[in-house]
Each structure stands twice: as structure tokens, then as C-alpha cells.
Amino acid sequence: SALPRRAEGVDARITAGSPARLSVTLPNAGDVRNVRFFAFSRDVVAPADPQAPRMGASGLSFSLSPGVADNLGAVPLEGVVAFDVREGGEWVRRGVEILAQPGDALPGTDDEAAAISDDYALAELEGAPQTDEAAQAGESMTAFALLAALGLAFVGGLILNIMPCVLPVLSVKALSFAGGAHVGEARRHGLFYFAGVMGTFLALAALLIVLREAGEAVGWGFQLQAPWVTSALALLFFVIGLNLLGVFSFGGSLQNAGGALTTRGGDAGSFFTGALAVIAATPCTAPFMAGAIGAALTQSAGVTLLIFAALAFGFALPLTLLHFAPGLQKVIPKPGPWMERVRNVLAFPMFAAAVWLVWVLAAQTGADGVAALLSVMAAIAFALFVSRWGRAWMVAGAIAIALTAALTWRPLVGAETQAVLTSEPWSPERVEALRAEGRGVFVNFTAAWCVTCKVNEASALANPRVAQALAEADVAYLVGDWTNRDEAIAAALAEHGRAGVPLYLYYPPGGEPMVLPQMLSQTLVLETIAGETQ
């Protein structure tokens, strides 16, 4: 039977990492093909990403991309390993249930292992195991499986047009038909829109192929894993929303609402609107898309491009047909005041998309990244507002944007800030315990809403020299977080004559506490630890 089953001698481990590694012992497996792991929980493992299965002396290993749960490798992982195995001269589809515990990779599954096919789409689409002829075909898909994947991609592309992430962009584009363009001009715009969609999809597929060949575990929407891409898209949708509300204007044509690049004319506007629609679509996965993309990412470069082309064709077809069908264009009412009202209403789905992307950025970079992005948004809003006052104000606005971006770029691109100080929570009991051990104690009473605190932490405390000085002097670093009300911290502040944060205390070994100034410098902190200020 091909039904999954528990098997004797099968063990599994899930090892955290980027990507995570799943290792499975598979005794007496023999020659296996079309290997794929399917997690029982859809939130744990990204279902469509390539898994790069490898066969070792004792079993299999997989590279797994995390799903939305973001706990891959930290908790047990349950699922099914599906594969084709040769039995009696024929290829038979089998499945083994596993429960992988967190831990190191199992021996013999990951060392000098050989890559094997994860062409699971072949068996799933055909509903039958591979034949010897198919096995001799190497990694290629059969004609039936390829046609099935192309069909799924085409249908998925059609449905993608009505997904929430892309519908607002296409609505703005469709609204441009109300402008009453001539038939020939409308058809030309349709061709440019079609070219924008096809070109962007194929460029995305080519990038996927390059990264896959370089050994990266990538999948649909992979670019949103980069915080700078998330930030850029959030800013783009924010600016488009401001344009739709009439805060500023790219030009007279509604189809130019796709971005600044669309101001160069109707043809260029249509092309870049198609490109923007593809970019907006990447966070969404329409029905039928997952299987097709999963198949595409496990095939040769040619097949991958072909499947993405089918997806792009399905995505571009509805709006392109609207350009070529004057009868369909007549469904849209004639120009009038309603257009401006609809235009304004469409701004709010754009803002909603920007809010969602800010939420994504928060998961990627934390509060610092969100604060940086909101600062850039505020600078952009300021620049657009003052630009109406003349060229000098326009230059001032551009400078404001540049300065804000320069000051906030690190969290926006996901640059890792070096966590140089190891801290522990403050409590009076912990201070007394450390002093009883004869250790020095540095206490930082701070809060997330305290600007002075954050400036001091960035300029004076979060520094390798300070961390080294604390470590060499065996000084414990305690943080009292007053972001939320805490009576114990309030009492400590009052004890030292303060009504609020920041408050910095240094307890030298065996000595009385020293109250440091509210504005710190790196030199002052180092001298205090060294005892030079006494």
C-alpha cells in the first residue's frame, strides 16, 4: 500500500538553522526517487519551497524553510516522508510517518550525502508511480505532468487577479479605461501592460533559478524575506495612497498611479503598472498556484521558466483582454465626478497594504525597524506636502528624506546590530545577591518611550569597549525596564531623588552606589568602571 505508515527502525531529528535540516534514518530504502516531506501542520514548514533532499548511507536529509509559525527546529515536527522506491523491478509510491525531535542531525544522513530528485509533483499530478522509462528520463517531467503544471499555473494566475494584495492596483488600472482612450491606443497600452507582467514574472523566475543554483532555499515570495524589500514596498503603497488622495500628482493619467516610473507616458505607465501588479501579487498565493510553483522550483531552468510564463499569461490575460475588447470597456461608466471619489476610496486599500507590510517588518526587525520606516514615511509626507510651495521647498523635502533614510537605513535593510551587552532584569534582590558575591553592578533604569535613554544606550552603552570593560571587571549589567508601570522601579527612582528615567547606578565591589549623569558618554562609563571618577 502507498498509504503512509509507521516503520520499524525509522528515526528523525529536526535541527534549527537557516535553512533547518531534517534528517531521517531509512533502513533498507534502496534506490529512492521523488522524495518530499509533508508536515502535518501547514504553519510549520513552507509547503512550496524546494527541500533539496539528499541520500546518505543511513537515510535522508532535507533543507526546510520555516512557515508562518517561525518555530521550525525548536519543537517536534510531525509529518510524512513520501518517496518512490523500486520494488520487484517497478517504481512504487511509499510514505513513512515520522516524528522528528529537535536535536543534531542523525549520523549517515547528512555527511557526504548525494542529491536526489524531489520531483514529487510528477507522482502527485499523474496519480501513478514512475515507470522505468520515466526514471531513465532523469530529472525531466513527463509531458502529462508538464501540461498539468502549466494548466495549474495558468488557472492560478487568473485567480491571482482577484486576490486582496493585487486587486487595488488592478482596480486603479481598470479605472483608467473611463478616460475614453481610442481603440488603437488602448490596445497598445494593453500590449505594454502584458509585456510588463510577463517580463517581471520571468525576471523573478530567473532570479529564483540563479539563487537555487547557488544553493539558496528559495520559494514564491522569497524577496519579502529581505527587510529592505518589505520596507520599499510599504513606502511604495504609502506613496500611491497619498497620490490617490490627491496630496500630490504624478500626472494627469489615472494609470500613472502605479508609481513615479509611470509618469513617462501612457505606454511606459502601462508597462510599469504591469510590473507593479506582479510585485504586489508576490505576497499572495492563489488556489492551484502552490502545486505548480512547487513543481517549477524542483525542475530544470527551462521548465521553471515555462511554468512561470504560464502563470504570468494567466495573470495578464483578463486586463489585456479588456484593452482589446471595446464592448467590455463600455461597461465602465463615462467620466465624471464619480472617478475622483472612487480614486480616493482606492487609497485606503493601499494604506491597508502598507500597514500589513509594516507588521511584516516588525516581525523581521522589531520595533527599531518599524520606527525607522515610520520616520521615512513621515519625511516623505513632509516632502510631498511642502513641494507645492516651490522648487526650494521641494529640495528641502528631498534633503529631509535623504537625511532620514541615512539615519535609519540599518534597521530598514535588516543590518544586524551587535548585541554587545549581556543584561539581566533588575531587582533589589538580584543587586544584593551580586554585591554579596563581591561583584560590581551597573544598573540601567530605562524605558522604550524614553528618547534620552535610547540615545545613551546607542552612543555610550551598546559599544564593544564598554562590554569588554564590564566583562574584564566582572561587573554585572542589570536593566530596569520602566516602559510599563513598575512599583519597585518607581521606589528605586525615588530613593535616588529621581521622578523618572533615565537613572544610571554603579555599585563598585564593596562600595556605595554612584549616581551617573543623565547624559552618558562612552568615556564616562569606562572611567566609572575603572574607578577613575572616584
Confirm if 373 and 235 have CB atoms less than 8 A apart. yes
Mean pLDDT, the chain, rounded, equals 77
Helix (H) / strand (E) containing 399: helix 391-412
Confidence of residue 433 (pLDDT cuts 50, 70, 90): very high
Q: How many Cα atoms occupy the beta-carbon half-sphere of 269 within 13 Å?
A: 22
Helix, strand, or coil (residue 63): strand
Domains of the chain by start residue, with CATH: 12-137 (2.60.40), 145-232+253-332 (no CATH), 424-530 (3.40.30.10)
Tell me, what's the pLDDT at 329? 60
Q: Which of the two residues, 328 and 395, has the higher pLDDT score?
A: 395
Given a cut of 80, whether residue 416 has pLDDT beyond it is no
Confidence of residue 160 (pLDDT cuts 50, 70, 90): confident
CA 293, 299, 301: angle at the middle one, nearest 5? 100
Q: Which of the two residues, 11 and 116, has the higher pLDDT score?
A: 11
Which tens digits make up the pLDDT trace of 85-109?
A: 877 777 787 888 898 998 888 888 7
Mean pLDDT, range 426-445, rounded to an integer: 94
Q: Which three cell numbers stand for residue 389?
A: 510651495
What is the Cα Rg of the chain in Å?
29
Mean pLDDT, range 71-93, rounded to an integer: 82
* Beta strands, E only, 375-457: 424-425, 440-446
Given a cut of 50, whether residue 264 has pLDDT beyond it is no
Tell me, what's the pLDDT at 136? 40
Q: How many Cα atoms occupy the beta-carbon half-sphere of 142 within 13 Å?
A: 20
Which tens digits make up the pLDDT trace of 363-408?
A: 777 787 888 888 888 888 888 888 878 777 778 778 877 777 776 6
Q: Which three cell numbers stand for residue 531?
A: 574607578
Mean pLDDT, range 404-419, rounded to an integer: 58
Q: Which three cell numbers stand for residue 159?
A: 485567480
Predicted TM-score (pTM) above 0.75: no
Sheet containing 503-507, strands listed edge to edge, beginning at the edge strand earlier in sequence: 424-425, 475-481, 440-446, 503-507, 514-516
Tell me, what's the pLDDT at 318? 87
Tell me, what's the pLDDT at 38? 86
Mean pLDDT, range 120-141, rounded to an integer: 41
- Between CA 274 and CA 258 the distance in angstroms is 9
Which tens digits make up the pLDDT trace of 43-56?
A: 788 776 778 888 88
Select the highest-mean-pLDDT range: 110-119, 449-458, 505-514.
Answer: 505-514
- Between CA 267 and CA 43 the distance in angstroms is 42
Tell me, what's the pLDDT at 317? 92
Helix, strand, or coil (residue 105): coil
Given a cut of 50, whether residue 290 has pLDDT beyond it is yes
Helix (H) / strand (E) containing 491: helix 487-495
Mean pLDDT, range 477-488, rounded to an integer: 90
Mean pLDDT, range 17-32, rounded to an integer: 80
Given a cut of 60, whether residue 134 has pLDDT beyond it is no
Which residues, 6+ apart, have CB-to-CB distance to 459 below 8 Å?
520, 521, 522
